[in-house]
Amino acid sequence: MTDPDPDLLLHATGLTKTFGSFTAVDGIDFAVERGESFGFLGPNGAGKSSTMKMVGCVSPVTGGQLRVFGQDPATHGPQIRARLGVVPQKDTLDEELSVEENLWIYGRYFGLSQSEVRARTTELLDFAQLTDRAKSTVEPLSGGMKRRLTIARSLISRPEILLLDEPTTGLDPQARHVLWDRLFRLKRSGVTLVLTTHYMDEAEQLCDRLVVMDHGKIVAQGSPRSLITQYSTREVLELRFDTDDHAQHGEAIAGIGERIEVLPDRLLVYTEDGDAAAAEVHLRGGRPMSALVRRSTLEDVFLHLTGRTLVD
Amino acid sequence: MSASVGTAHPPTPAAWRAVFGSWVTAYKRTWRGSIFGRFLSPLMFLLSLGLGLGSLVDKSTGGVDGVPYLQFVVPGILAAQSMWVAMGESTYPVMGAIRWNAKYHAMLATPVGIDDVLLGHLIYVAMQITGATAIFIGVAAMFGSFGSWWVLLCLPITVLTGMAFAVPIFAFSAKQETDSGFNILFRFIMTPLFLFSGIFFPVSQLPVFMRPIAWVMPLWHGVQANRSLALGSPDFAAIAGHTAYLLVVIAVGGWLARRAFTRRLVV
């Protein structure tokens, strides 16, 4: 079957993946349109990578229906993969080869001619800011450079969808920002981005729309802003007390704000006005070591939905 | 629902050539050391076994079945060397491409399918065996190891012998979690085969119960066919039989390798 809408690039209904008795992806529904930047947010083990591998047509679907470019991965795997760019969670670069050789051999897998591959390599190394390292072997490059090379490599076939599985996990803050900048440029040039992450700031930076996953299921979806509005308050007051047990302080300030979350190392007070809440804590005799007012983030959404933080 | 992602399509020339090309690109970085070893290995065998041991054998018994020991032993060692090359090319590189650097995974994320990955890599291995065999024949010929120009036909026979090891070992390597299995392969299969496949003495010297082991394994067939050619009195019916046997082993190995690769890489 083919989907009538050519701009509906990804469409999953009841998508399921099991490994033996373990269910990694538990009947999820989602759709991604051309030009969108779509994210799967969730902790490790939520089923994000399994979903990405099914979309990437390297892992067979166990149940439900998946259409990529309107086609079925079970019957049109090679045709679909020809139009995808894949940035796997773990770099699969050939470390003994040079930066440019990695791009050359990869381009050949897509059936591109040698001259075409070489022309695109020049262009992509410039995009990935690796031109001066073209002849260097991959092994000594920094983590951020390897990641940029993996992204450059995934673009050699000029894909319509770029699949990024945890693109910045393990990178230092500066390298992450360089990478986000490159991804943002791609998005502006019209490439559809589909990514997984367990960083809420990454999801906020890059995603127009996202789904929150936990234990193989989608627990919420929407734009980053709408999720925060729906599941959290405008501000959060973070309180740290000089104690081993924050729960008793939680009882002392019960009723302040809309909701209180007790974490092992701090209390979170969800409220429209953080400063007013802090003043009220003080009035009730609370003397925290520190009190910080911040805006709500996706982390708060996740905490509210699952009772756990994203990165433990 | 079929558990497929279309990786099982028949190999396409552009795809398997790209896979082959990637292995060649990697080889270009290390070929100097590898070529040196390819020349050294026949030299060592020729000097020690062919000339050293050979002169003793010839002095005391007048050779094996009336043939100088050098000419008896070298065609067998030629077959054995292809087994060693096959082992080197199809153990660690295959396990590494699955477990360490995920080279195969990178290929399979593109339009390339399992059969392309397998075929492209096997053709690269065949290229390595062909190169090593050609060098061996050239070096050994300079020492007068062969009695006939028929030795040129030893090249395809030896490549088939090597592939009859490489292809099943691909299946074996794809299943390994650690490299300890390779030690077992090396110590308990390759080394006994090397010693008891009629290379250094005819299989008829073996105890009766051991002979079938030599007959079942591919090495003996390569040794017999090579020797028959190199000594200049080829028995073509026997050679055809040996060749057919090697082809059967390659075919069965190919089926096993395809199954092992699919189970390992498409999950």
- Each residue of A185-231: pLDDT tens digit? 999 999 999 999 988 888 988 999 999 999 999 999 999 999 999 99
Average pLDDT of chain B to the nearest whole number = 93
Q: Answer yes or no: do A111 and B15 touch at CB < 8 A.
A: yes
- In this predicted model, which residue has the larger pLDDT, A116 or A1? A116
**Closest-CA residue in chain B for A96?**
B26
Topology (CATH level 3) of domain A8-228:
Rossmann fold (3.40.50)
pLDDT at A1 over 60: no
- Our CA-based measurement puts residue B33 at a distance from the nearest CA of chain A, in whole angstroms, of 15
- Our CA-based measurement puts residue A75 at a distance from the nearest CA of chain B, in whole angstroms, of 6
> pLDDT value at position B65?
82
Query: Which of A81, A42, A46, A39 is CA-nearest to residue B266?
Result: A81
Nearest by CB to A108, from B1, B18, B106: name it: B18
Indicate the DSSP class of residue A76. Answer: H
Residue type, B214: A
**B interface test, pick of A92, A99, A135, A138 with most B CB neighbours within 10 Å:** A92
Per cent of chain B over pLDDT 70 is 98
Q: Answer yes or no: do A92 and B106 touch at CB < 8 A.
A: yes
Average pLDDT over residues A65-72: 96
Q: Answer yes or no: do A60 and B2 touch at CB < 8 A.
A: yes
Give contacts of B109 with chain A, Cβ < 8 Å: 56, 58, 81, 84, 86, 88, 92
> What confidence category does residue A312 fall into, taking pLDDT thresholds of 50, 70 and 90?
low
> pLDDT value at position B1?
36
| CATH 3.30.460.80 applies to domain A232-306 | no
Cβ-proximal residues to B74 (8 Å cutoff; 6+ apart), any chain: B45, B46, B50, B140, B145, B146, B230
For A276, other C-beta atoms within 10 Å of its C-beta total 15
Task: Please say whether the beta carbons of A42 and A48 come within 8 A.
Answer: yes
- Each residue of A10-43: pLDDT tens digit? 999 999 999 999 999 999 999 999 999 999 998 8
Give contacts of A92 with chain B, Cβ < 8 Å: 101-103, 105-106, 109
- Each residue of B94-143: pLDDT tens digit? 999 999 989 999 999 999 999 999 999 999 999 999 999 999 999 999 98
Average pLDDT of chain A to the nearest whole number = 92
Task: Please say whether the beta carbons of B193 and B219 come within 8 A.
Answer: yes
Nearest by CB to B111, from A59, A78, A94: name it: A78
Give contacts of A17 with chain B, Cβ < 8 Å: none
Listed by start position, the domains of chain A span 8-228, 232-306
> What confidence category does residue B7 fall into, taking pLDDT thresholds of 50, 70 and 90?
low
Listed by start position, the domains of chain B span 13-265
Task: Please say whether the beta carbons of B158 and B221 come within 8 A.
Answer: no
The helix, strand and coil proportions of chain A, stated in percent and rounded to the nearest 5, come to 35, 30, 35
> pLDDT value at position A120?
96
> pLDDT value at position B47?
86
> pLDDT value at position B3?
57
Phi, psi of A98 (to 5 degrees): -80, 165
Please state, in angstroms and rounded to a whole number, the distance separating the CA atoms of residues B220 and B213.
Answer: 9
**Closest-CA residue in chain A for B2?**
A74
Please give the structure tokens belonging to residue A196: 């997984």
Please state, in angstroms and rounded to a whole number, the distance separating the CA atoms of residues A294 and B176.
Answer: 51
Please state, in angstroms and rounded to a whole number, the distance separating the CA atoms of residues B215 and A190.
Answer: 64
Q: Answer yes or no: do A95 and B101 touch at CB < 8 A.
A: yes
List Cα–Cα distances, A225 to A222, A298, A310, in angstroms: 8, 9, 18
> pLDDT value at position B2?
42
- Each residue of A107-125: pLDDT tens digit? 999 999 999 999 999 999 9
> pLDDT value at position A13?
97
Region of poorest pLDDT, from B14-28, B48-62, B130-144, B253-267:
B48-62
- Each residue of B210-266: pLDDT tens digit? 899 889 999 999 999 999 999 998 999 999 999 999 999 999 999 999 999 999 999
Q: Answer yes or no: do A105 and B22 touch at CB < 8 A.
A: yes
pTM for this one? 0.91
Please state, in angstroms and rounded to a whole number, the distance separating the CA atoms of residues B262 and B113.
Answer: 10
pLDDT at A3 over 80: no
Average pLDDT over residues B52-71: 89
